[in-house]
Amino acid sequence: MAGPIILVLNSGSSSIKFTLFSGAAAHLDGQISGLGAQPHIKLKSEVSETKIDRPLSDEEGKNHASALSALLPVLEEELGKQTVDAVGHRVVHGGITYSEPLRITSSAMYRLKSLIPLAPLHQPHNVAGIEAAQAAFPKALQVACFDTAFHRKHPWVNDTFALPRTFYDEGVRRYGFHGLSYEYICSYLKTTAPELYAGKVIVAHLGNGASMCAIRDGQSIGSTMGFTALDGLPMGTRCGQLDPGVVLYLLTTKGMTPQEVSDLLYKDSGLKGLSGVSQDMRTLTESDDPRAAEAIEYFVFRIRRELGAMAAVLGGLDTVVFTGGIGENATVVREKVCQELDWLGLHIDPAKNNAREEDISAEGSRIKTLVIPTNEEEMIRRHTEKLMATADVRA
C-alpha cells in the first residue's frame, strides 16, 4: 500500500460503516450492521469482490467496541506489517465551536459529549465509535469531521430563530447538516464544472435522512435542516418541518412524555409514519397501497416547496444536484420533483433520467440538473490526511 493508511468510520446507532484507504485508494469498504440485535458484517475489496458476508456472534456484535474488535483481524490481514496511521470519524454535530475538522483529544471528547442533547439520535453513537477506535488503534491520530461545519458561515438571518437573543448566544440556532456530503458535491463541481461551482446551486441530499442546501460560489447560505436533524424535509422515519404547537399539544393535551415525543418524531414519522408501509423508498414505489403513493407525493411536494424557497434565498438558480440514496437512484422521485418547473426554466430529459445519466437536463433547459453520487468517506479521508500533514491539530 502506498500513502498514509486511513480508516474512515461512520458510526450509527446500530451500525458502523467503514472504508480503509491507502493514500486516495479505497482498499476495503464495508459495514457492520445490527449491533445489539442481529449483527452482520459485509466487506468488499477494492475490486468489489465480497471478502466477508456473515453474521457476527452476539458477543462480537454487542456494541461498537466489540464490533471493531471483530474487524481487526481482517484489517490486520489486509495491512500486513503496516498499521493504521489515522482514523477519520463522521461526527454529526460540532455546535458553535467547531467549523473545521480537528484532532480528537480528551478535552475535545468532553466537548463532543456535551453536544449529545443537540443530536440525540446520532452523537452518542459517533462518540461510541470514537472511543472504540481509540481503544483499537491507540497510536493512530483520531480526527473528527463535522456534518455541521460546512454551514457555519450562514448569513445571520438563516442562522437564527425569532427567539430572545440569549438563546442564540447559548447555541440555539440553525446549524444545518449533511455538510460532508454538500462539501463533496462542491469539490466535484469545482473540478469538473467550475462555472457551475461558481454559480447558484441547490443540492438535494435525499435519503433516509434528507435535506437541501442553497450554495453560492461554494458557500452554504441556506439549509432546510435547523437546530436538529429533524427539521425541513420529511425523511425515512423523521417528521421534517413541524409546527412547534404540535409538540406542545402532544405534551399537554395528549400527555406524552418528552421521550415518547422524541421517539415519535425521530423513529415513527416521515415516510414510515405517513405510509404505514415502510420507510424505504424502493418498497413505497413498488407498493399498490394508496398510502404509499400519498407518502411519496408529500415527500415530493416538500422538496418542490423547498426548491422554490432556496431559489429565492439564492436570488436565482443555475444548477440543481440530486444526491443521496434516493436522489441518486429513485428516477420517479426526480421526475416528479422536476415536473412543472417551467417557471424556473428547469426541464429534464425523461430518457436521460431513466438511463441514470449524470446530466439529465433537457436540451434548452436554462437550469442544469445533475445526478452526482456523494462520497462522505472520501471527504473525511481528505480532511484526515490534511490534518496529518499540518501542525494545526487544535483541540
Helix ranges (DSSP H) in the chain: 64-79, 106-114, 123-136, 165-170, 179-192, 194-197, 244-252, 258-267, 270-275, 281-286, 290-314, 324-329, 331-338, 350-354, 376-388
104 has binding-site annotation: no
pLDDT at 91 over 70: yes
The pTM for the full model equals: 0.93
Closest CA to 74 of 39, 50, 58: 50
End-to-end CA distance of the chain: 30
Gap between the Cα atoms of 98 and 188, Å rounded: 24
Whether 29 is a known active-site residue: answer no
- Does the domain at 5-146 match CATH 3.30.2130.10? Answer given as no
In tens, the pLDDT along 39-77 reads: 888 888 876 677 888 898 989 888 888 888 888 888 888
Gap between the Cα atoms of 169 and 190, Å rounded: 34
Can you name the CATH fold of 193-376?
A: Nucleotidyltransferase; domain 5 (3.30.420)
Beta strand 25-33 pairing with 40-45: antiparallel
Backbone angles phi, psi at 215, to 5 degrees: -130, 130
- Cell numbers that stand for 320 in this block: 440543481
12 has binding-site annotation: no
Helix H or strand E segment including 368? strand 368-371
Gap between the Cα atoms of 176 and 330, Å rounded: 24
CB 232 within 8 A of CB 226: yes
pLDDT at 395 over 60: no
* Per-residue burial over 97-123, b = 16 or more CB atoms within 10 Å of its CB, e = otherwise: ebbbbbbbeeebbebbeebeebbebbb
Helices 331-338 + 290-314 axis angle, to 10 = 50
Q: Using pLDDT thresholds of 50, 70 and 90, give the confidence band for residue 394.
A: very low
281 has binding-site annotation: yes
376 has binding-site annotation: yes
29 has binding-site annotation: no
327 has binding-site annotation: yes
Q: Which residues pair with 375 in a beta bridge?
A: none
DSSP one-letter code for 56 = P
Q: Which residue has the cell 436538529?
A: 228
% the chain with pLDDT above 70? 98
Gap between the Cα atoms of 391 and 368, Å rounded: 41
Domains 5-146 and 193-376 share a fold: yes
**Complete edge-to-edge strand list for the sheet that includes strand 200-205:** 219-223, 211-216, 200-205, 319-323, 368-371
CB 138 within 8 A of CB 116: no
In tens, the pLDDT along 210-256 reads: 999 999 999 999 999 999 999 999 999 999 999 999 999 999 999 99
Q: Which residue has the cell 437512484?
A: 329
Backbone angles phi, psi at 237, to 5 degrees: -125, 0
Highest mean pLDDT among 23-37, 77-91, 201-215: 201-215
- Three-state DSSP class for 52? strand
Domain boundaries, the chain: 5-146, 193-376
- Cell numbers that stand for 182 in this block: 454538500
Marked catalytic residue, from 147, 159, 231, 318 = 147
Question: Per mean pLDDT, which range of 50-54, 138-142, 319-323, 341-345 is the poorest?
Answer: 50-54
CB 20 within 8 A of CB 5: yes
The larger pLDDT score, comparing residue 133 to residue 294, is at 294
How far, rounded to the nearest angstrom, does the alpha carbon of residue 249 sit from its chain's CA centroid? 30
103 has binding-site annotation: no
Q: What angle do CA 366, 351, 336 make, to 5 degrees?
A: 70
96 has binding-site annotation: no
